[in-house]
Amino acid sequence: MEVKKIGIVGAGQMGNGIAHVCALAGYEVLVNDISQEALDRGIATVRKNLDRQVSREKISEAERDEAMGRIATTLQLKDLGQTDLVIEAATERETVKVAIFEDLVPHLQPHTILTSNTSSISITRLASRTDRPEKFMGFHFMNPVPIMQLVELIRGIATDEETYKSCLQVVENLGKTAASAEDFPAFIVNRILMPMINEAVYTLYEGVGNVRSIDESMKLGANHPMGPLELADFIGLDTCLAIMNVLHDGLADTKYRPCPLLTKYVEAGWLGRKSQRGFYDYRGETPVPTR
């Protein structure tokens, strides 16, 4: 099936990035969120990021304007029922995602493919709560979406080949690269990345190094573009903790036990860049380590 119109649930960090790349690739895009403020903020971010691409001569002004013209917004989830592909990019909580799919299903066209941008939750389990598990997939973009090249495509136990091929075609049309992953906790990227971040937090927790020495060690000693604690702040410490809990619960292995210090930061509301404090304090001109 050829996908022409894409519905996106959520206008936040991931949702607006997905809208950006889909519109730029020529798809008609309809974005839904629960408040007009969230939609306005998301569309403003798309515009700002497209402007940045124009200034860097990655795209033309005409391409920017055409992309913006392909994006529409709605406060009504049911409006997404008229799209060919829905990408859910709501918060990383299973109860929220299940509620969205249950509300959306009665309004879908028979051919509509449902996908989730989840970074760790079981695709098979999410699919089982819909009327079309064979037309359900994990469609996991990396952050920031306009820059990162990879998309993980995750098949649930019931996902059919036609659905996989349709989603693969979309990824290729976006100019990105697909990695096929099996439906096990955290898939490929976060199965490897999150335990590394968690281990960096343990290294801090046990006093082996401070925030700056840990990040500098991995940047200069392992050639990572960002240190693991800096990266955790960028992702969101609540998201990191949620993924570690999925790994720990799903695989029942103590090596995935979330570091108590990570839990403490989340309990304090120090979630990283989005809350202005995490392993670094972002309230001044330059980030300052908090430990």
Query: Where in the sequence numbering do the catalytic residues fall?
Result: 119, 140, 152, 190
Q: Is there a binding annotation on residue 249?
A: no
Q: Is there a binding annotation on residue 69?
A: no
First to last CA, the chain: 52
**Amino acid identity at 160:** D
Q: Is there a binding annotation on residue 33?
A: yes
* Nearest-angstrom CA–CA distance, 275 and 2: 40
Token pair of 67 as six digits:
């992309």
* Nearest-angstrom CA–CA distance, 239 and 85: 25
Laid out side by side, the sheet with 5-9 consists of 71-74, 28-32, 5-9, 85-88, 113-116, 136-141, 150-155, 177-182
Q: Is there a binding annotation on residue 10?
A: yes
Q: Residue 7: which residues within 8 A CB-CB, separation 6 or more?
A: 29, 30, 31, 32, 79, 80, 81, 82, 83, 85, 86, 87
Q: Is there a binding annotation on residue 119?
A: yes
Q: Is there a binding annotation on residue 169?
A: no
Q: Is there a binding annotation on residue 278?
A: no
Q: Is there a binding annotation on residue 14?
A: yes
Q: Is there a binding annotation on residue 143?
A: yes
Report yes or no: 115 and 90 within 8 Å, Cβ to Cβ.
no
Token pair 């990162």 is found at 148
Query: What are φ and ψ of residue 239, in 5° steps?
Result: -65, -45
Q: Is there a binding annotation on residue 11?
A: yes
Q: Is there a binding annotation on residue 60?
A: no
Of 286, 175, 275, 194, the closest CA to residue 241 belongs to 194
Which positions make up the binding site for NAD(+)?
10-15, 33, 92, 97, 119, 143, 274
Q: Which residues are annotated as a binding site?
A: 10-15, 33, 92, 97, 119, 143, 274
